Chain A
Amino acid sequence: MLYLLGVNLPDHKQVPTALTHIYGIGIHQAQKICHKLAIHPRCRLAHLPEQKVTEISQLLNTYKIEAELRRERSNRIEQLVQIGCYRGDRHKHGYPANGQRTRPNGKTAKKLNGRSLSVRSRGFCTSLPLASTTSTPRVPSPPSISSTLAPITRLIARFI
């Protein structure tokens, strides 16, 4: 396996396919990389000379991939939540954010949306237990006169 920029790439695969294992590189981007570096399309990663591997590494450093891309995506979603827009709200609650219906489907969004949000941004979320929140526990307020007399008032109203 070729270890490149923190990712283990499978040796036996063709170079464009192997590069897609990097987060942020799809098949078209991978093919463009091969075209720029004059790597023939049927080349396997194991057959690549050292110089070409170095060139791939140098070219990939100019792209936003892996941790940097994840961070940027997470920041963008956090920003949506912080400005209090509709999309941010949907991310916060784990619902679809692109106008999809929730009556029949929504399970994928429930699973994926809001993963990158920090716990503070989530706010009220049923998927997380209350103990995991960083806010202070709620102290019950002392009983008031109206709350004490409410049952008696209801009983009297029944007989009237």
Chain B
Amino acid sequence: MLAKGALSAASRCRLASASAGTLRSHRTPVLAFSTTPVSHAAPTAKKKPSAGVPKIKRGGAPTDNDLDRAIDKAPPEPKPKYVPNKNAPEVVVGEWVPEKATEDNVPQVLSLPPSFVEAVPLDTLPTIMMKYFSEFKTPSLLARKITLKILDEVVAESKKPVADRVLMLDGRYGCGKSSVLLQSASYFKQSGWIVIYVPRTFDWVCGLEPYAPVKDTIYYDQPEATAKVLKAIGRLNGEALAEIPASSGKGTLADIVQQGSEDPAVAHACLEELFGELSNGGADRPPVLIAIDQVNGLYSRTAYRDVHSKVITADRFNLARSFIKFLNGERKLKGAVLTSTDYTTNHLHSPFLNHILTSPSTPTITIPTEESKLPGPMRRDFVPRRPLKDVDEFGVLSWGREGEVSFDNVLKRTKVHPRGVVRVEVPEFAKEELERVVGYWKAGGLVPLNRQRPGMIEKFYMMTGGNPYKLFRDLLTAL
């Protein structure tokens, strides 16, 4: 017996034959919502091979066709790295001059003086700063309390007969160390000091500059890099150096700088002579500020190799050694030495310097914060603050981050070690500082409209812990 409602076999056959005329043929697919058959979609057009540099067969001489194509497709000339954003809205801010470096003017966004920007091309700055300045029409930085603290410390150092400390700005990456250093260099330049500002040591160690071994020594020369450094010194301090006569009687210090910048073969000799003259300065000469960014590059491994293909450390290069002589006290100075570390690239990694900075015997200068900081991510190269030991209490060789310094070759070369290092902790932005800088970014068109809500400052502060670079990067990707 069939269930109620079920069809018999004969009924099903009748139903099937009755609907045979209306059944759609499987050969002509028809969409349920259309009455006309739809033809198959046209096959996707084959992608033309992308025009690029054709690969030349290895292991044999290329054919003429390969050569012609390779010549045509050679990479274009590199574009200039810093290009100010001319489409950015004009934001009127004050200028960073010595008169504005007071407690009443912090925190406040102030633009760098045009004369300083002209003397220090922004192409030579660290990459992050260059990218930051490229988003605005005029390069401006936030004047902070830590900036004033640094200025006071440098002035106090200059009042001593000879500078005996090396102030080292340290902190998490992106917290504003390079900005503080740049502001300090600008401040003292306008105050009449001689400022030797080195924005990047990365170019000296990454393998970009030609090098040559010095005969009968273990050291290496970088003539063109030295000439560039001299050119930068001359551009920033031309007028001040022209007033100082050289003790050898060969004109003024400006003439020495010009000679070295024009002839790379004698650049190192000129640099040594210049630094020798500056370190022997008398009371009538202006004080000297040695401002070095990416100072960990001076104690790191380089991309260069010796004839036996062994890695060369940066302290083997005469250019780096000229600056290390200010850090290890070999060259006395009437002024101050202010340096800054850089943790944005692994090429500048220096376990030795990291250990110096995290050692409990290294004095630290901090500024009191008004509010408690939110816990942020650990520093990438965080090392516990314990003294150096090869073995721990169980007799096991220290491993990991702490043991890394024991494998650093610079550890054995005590002559190049910096003396009198004072670590200056550069904190992340406080809430008030973040508010000021976000206000500037908002006026400059950097904050997208969907982020401009009530409570956005608190949200930014929670997201980044006050790290300005992280916030800048986040807003840039959101645009």
Contacts and interface: CB of A to CB of B under 8 A. Distances in A.
Interface of A: 1, 6-8, 10-12, 20-21, 23, 31-32, 35-36, 38-43
Contact of A41 (B62, B70, B207): B207
Contacts of A10: 56, 70, 74
Interface string B296-329: 0000000111111100000000000000000000
Contacts of A32: 309
Contact of B305 (A11, A23, A35, A43): A35
B3 to A, nearest CB: 58
A40 B222 CA distance: 10
A23 B56 contact: no
A142 to B, nearest CB: 52
B308 to A, nearest CB: 8
Interface string B378-412: 00000000000000000000000000000000000
Given A1-B70, A1-B71, A12-B75, A42 B206 contact: yes
B61 interface: yes
A40 B211 CA distance: 6
B209 interface: yes
Interface in B8-66: 56, 58-62
B62 A35 contact: no
Contacts of B220: 38
B213 interface: yes
A20 B207 CA distance: 19
Contact of B61 (A8, A11, A35, A42): A8
B476 interface: no
23 contacts: A1-B70, A1-B71, A10-B74, A11-B74, A20-B58, A21-B58, A21-B62, A23-B60, A31-B305, A31-B309, A35-B307, A35-B308, A36-B307, A38-B211, A38-B307, A40-B207, A40-B210, A40-B303, A41-B303, A41-B304, A42-B207, A42-B208, A42-B303
Contacts of A40: 207-211, 303-304
The 5 closest A-B pairs by CB, nearest first: A41-B207, A12-B74, A35-B305, A42-B207, A35-B309
Main secondary structure of the interface of B (DSSP, over half): loop
Which interface residue of A7, A10, A20, A39 has the most chain B CB atoms within 10 A? A10
B419 to A, nearest CB: 31
Contacts of A31: 305, 309
A37 B69 CA distance: 30
Given A11-B74, A38-B307, A40-B208, 20 more contacts: A6-B61, A8-B61, A8-B62, A10-B70, A12-B70, A21-B56, A21-B62, A23-B59, A23-B60, A31-B305, A32-B309, A35-B305, A35-B306, A35-B308, A35-B309, A38-B211, A39-B210, A40-B303, A42-B206, A42-B207
A43 B210 contact: yes
A12 B76 CA distance: 10
B456 interface: no
B367 interface: no
B443 interface: no
Contacts of A42: 206-208, 303
A35 B304 CA distance: 8
Contact of B67 (A1, A6, A39, A43): A1
A8 B65 CA distance: 12
A37 B70 CA distance: 27
Contacts of A12: 70, 74-75
B212 interface: yes
Nearest to A28: B309
Contacts of B208: 40, 42
B45 to A, nearest CB: 31
Nearest to A11: B74
Contacts of B71: 1
A10 B56 CA distance: 9
Nearest to B71: A1
Nearest to A66: B61
Nearest to B207: A41
